[in-house]
Structure 1
Amino acid sequence: MKKPTLFALLILIYSANSYCQKSLSESVAYLDIKSPKQPLSNIIKTYSVIVETPYKLTAKDVQAKSKIDFEKEKVNYNNKLKKSTVEFEERLKNHDEEVVKIEERYKMEMEQFKKLSLIERLALSEQGKEPKLSIPSKPTYIQPSEPTYKEPDLTKFLIFDNKVLADGVMVYGYEKGGNDVTFMINITKMVFQDNGGQTFYNQPTNLKVLQGMEVIHEKKFDEGFQFLTATSSNTINFDYYEKNNVLKIMKNMSIYINEQFGYTPIPSTIKIEYPKNKKRKYDVLENTKIKSVTIYKKLNRITSLQIREKFIADLIQVKGIWKEELSKIDYKDKKATMNVAVAKIIFFNLLRVNISLKNKEQAEKTLELMQEKLIDLDLSNDQKRTLTSLEEQIYTL
């Protein structure tokens, strides 16, 4: 009896496994979008940035001055050479005179030393106090090096190209180069102030946002004095601090502009599930998975809102296919091709995609439909935890 029973059990296990649809998945990285606090008009597609600063010095100016200074050095080299020769001869003369004095002093000290008794001389010698002749080294002539030209270190100068500064500002969600909206950034000269041995500064900056000739937004920054360093302004390098502050201002401008008007990309990941398609019974679902993954991969690039909206429209079509396949589910027959295992795959995909699209209404409808089928779906513990996590994300949309 044992063998038939064991055989029957194996048959049952095999039969159950044969109808248990295995779920596969693929995770794909994409860029989610953080919406702006002050969305611009829908007619705005392009933008430009204009930066104005008080800095007129250019790299060419610095290089030109450096070359002029080098020419002066070359002209002055012969004078420098003559001066060094005269100075050396003077040192040599002084050395010879010093040697004569030292030798005379040594001679006198030795005469006095010899007049002492033997015991006194021995005592002084043991103490190292006997007369010693110490002649200084003779000076050697070191010829000044000929001047060689070195390119100036431009990082030490207050050099700013306003166009380069403007190019560094990217407003996410819009195409750069047009004039639908213009961001004008005006940076003033940095002012330093001493107070109690500490240095403070201000560098007022003004931002204007223009749609055509109309100012649609304006804000001033850094008008008040701020702490800079705990040392007096007499001891600091003004250019160093000013250059760093201008770069900080531009970084802050970029952040502010995107917080207010841009659609900031946020790195995200989504998991798309699909059934194992060994016998080609799930071609529709596998193709839908391929389409959705491809779309999300395209969303992993920084693009304009218009291109992004096209990709989202494609995702909505994918959702439609999943919904259509979901309508074919037989929740009672585990042997059916479209069984509860497939239903769970589709439900989780719909929830994740709706969350990624921030479509709270559709996500809640999908969740409600899934909850109605929870008994039939018979979720595993892992699936229950996944559902709970997705529910929490829906509530925070």
Structure 2
Amino acid sequence: MKKTIFFLVAISSLSVYSQRILSEKVNFFDINLPQKPLAENVKTYKVIVETPYTLTAADVEQQSLIDFEQEKANYAQVVEQSKVDFEQQLKDHDEAVAQAKEKYEIEMKDFKELTLLERLALTDQGKKPQLKTPSKPVYRKPSEPIYRKPNLNDYLIFDNQSLSDNITLHGYDKGGEDVLFLVNFSKMNFQDNGGQTFYSQPTKLQVIENGAPIDEKTFHDESKFLTSSTSNTIDLNRYEKKNVMKLIKEIEAYINEQYGYKPVAASIEIGHPKNKKREYDQLEKAKIVAVSAFKKLTQNANVDVLKRVKGELEKAKGIWKAELTKVNYSDKKALYNKDIATMIYFNLLKVDIILKDKDAAHATLDEVQNVKIDLDLNYTNENILNKLENQVYNMK
């Protein structure tokens, strides 16, 4: 009986012990670092777009009203011309009827001269002559002009400020001029070759940081395939409007790849022990600091926020590393045992990877390898470590 009670107590203790490690999931936006970081004093940016398209919606609507007034002024003349055209149609109809009758009479004369059997045979074949006259025309008075607003999508209308607003540099505040992006469009050139249409639209990007040029690039300056139809059979305006927006997206992608901190949706699980008895206050503090830092990484976080978050995560890392010194690997029942150590190392590796700190990640991984035997990882934690290792080895 005593053995049974002891066994149940042991199982109960193991159950409590195995449930000690928890995790808190945080959704945030990871940051792709730029290939060419801007100077540290750069906080703001401005985009200026210049295009050769001077036509405005007001211009189109004004011309549309002018055309409508001209249509109204010409309406009486259009009606009179329609009557003249109708009289001509009637004359043409009378002539067509006379010709049809004349043809019919000739064919019937020839038909009657045939033998009875020949006439029956042609009739059976549906070849007996028939009088076919055209329908008499009906006069339809032209409709009075009705004003319809022009479809602005059919015109090359662009607002340069709107195009500028479509370009965002992630990680910086729009409005200042610490860095300027000057975009200069040219008109789209169409060329026919072998029944196909090709195009080019040289568009120049200049980057000016703190008043000094640092980059210049031209997009779409080489001839590219557009469509397998000739240019005189396609809607050129539609293709040009589409290409302008395509260029805007390409330029935005380029400047963010080179200089921006592009956000990418991500998540992390921060491990922490139960702390009902306040035995793990420092680990609880590290968890709170880390979770709070990651929540600051929103889609619109700027460079200053990124720096603060990095500092806060370094603080959490410092706490975790200090707590590692308390681990007793040989005593499973110790307050700081191998499971606490595993949790801390996983937190450190995850944060190092997110911070893109390759040296720190490799140093942490080396520490893990040195104590891996003492950690005595189970199957699940072994798989987690393998995945973290692969991420560390693939860091650039």
TM-score, structure 1 normalization: 0.86
Matched residue, 2:384: 386
Query: Which of 44, 47, 69 is the aligned partner of 1:46?
Result: 44
Query: Which of 267, 288, 292 is the aligned partner of 1:294?
Result: 292
Counterpart Cα distance in 2 of 1:93 and 1:192: 48
Deviation at 1:270, TM superposition (A): 1.7
Query: Which of 345, 348, 365 is the aligned partner of 1:347?
Result: 345
Contact 1:30 1:296 (C-alpha < 8 Å) held by counterparts? yes
Residue deviations 1:184-219 (CA, integer Å, cap 9, x gap):
122223333444554443333322222354323333
Contact 2:25 2:268 (C-alpha < 8 Å) held by counterparts? yes
Structure 2 letter corresponding to 1:320: G
Query: Which of 104, 128, 131 is the aligned partner of 1:130?
Result: 128
Residue deviations 1:300-348 (CA, integer Å, cap 9, x gap):
3222101221122222222233334333333333333333322222221
Contact 1:46 1:179 (C-alpha < 8 Å) held by counterparts? yes
Matched residue, 2:166: 168
Matched residue, 1:184: 182
Quickly say closer, same or farther: Cα 1:329–1:125, change in 2 above 3 A: same
Query: Which of 21, 24, 27 is the aligned partner of 1:26?
Result: 24
What secondary structure sits across from 1:169 in the alignment? coil
Decide which moves more: 21-30 or 64-73.
21-30
Deviation at 1:180, TM superposition (A): 1.2
Deviation at 1:46, TM superposition (A): 1.0
Deviation at 1:282, TM superposition (A): 4.3
Deviation at 1:386, TM superposition (A): 1.5
Query: Which of 32, 37, 55 is the aligned partner of 1:57?
Result: 55
Contact 1:285 1:322 (C-alpha < 8 Å) held by counterparts? yes
Structure 1 letter corresponding to 2:89: R
Quickly say closer, same or farther: Cα 1:241–1:116, change in 2 above 3 A: closer
Query: Which of 304, 307, 326 is the aligned partner of 1:328?
Result: 326
Deviation at 1:356, TM superposition (A): 1.0
Deviation at 1:150, TM superposition (A): 2.5
Aligned length: 395
Quickly say closer, same or farther: Cα 1:73–1:286, change in 2 above 3 A: farther
Counterpart Cα distance in 2 of 1:208 and 1:124: 84
Counterpart Cα distance in 1 of 2:143 and 2:339: 85
Matched residue, 1:76: 74
What secondary structure sits across from 1:152 in the alignment? coil
Deviation at 1:104, TM superposition (A): 5.9
Contact 1:172 1:258 (C-alpha < 8 Å) held by counterparts? yes
Counterpart Cα distance in 1 of 2:239 and 2:33: 34
**What's the % identity of the aligned pairs?**
49
Matched residue, 1:206: 204
Residue deviations 1:146-172 (CA, integer Å, cap 9, x gap):
332222222222222221222211112
Structure 2 letter corresponding to 1:184: L
What secondary structure sits across from 1:316 in the alignment? helix
Counterpart Cα distance in 2 of 1:391 and 1:311: 24
Correspondence 1:371 to 2:369: yes
Counterpart Cα distance in 1 of 2:211 and 2:332: 67
Matched residue, 2:317: 319
What secondary structure sits across from 1:19 in the alignment? helix
Decide which moves more: 215-224 or 63-72.
215-224
Matched residue, 2:268: 270
Deviation at 1:48, TM superposition (A): 0.9
Matched residue, 2:89: 91
What secondary structure sits across from 2:18 in the alignment? coil
Structure 1 letter corresponding to 2:357: N
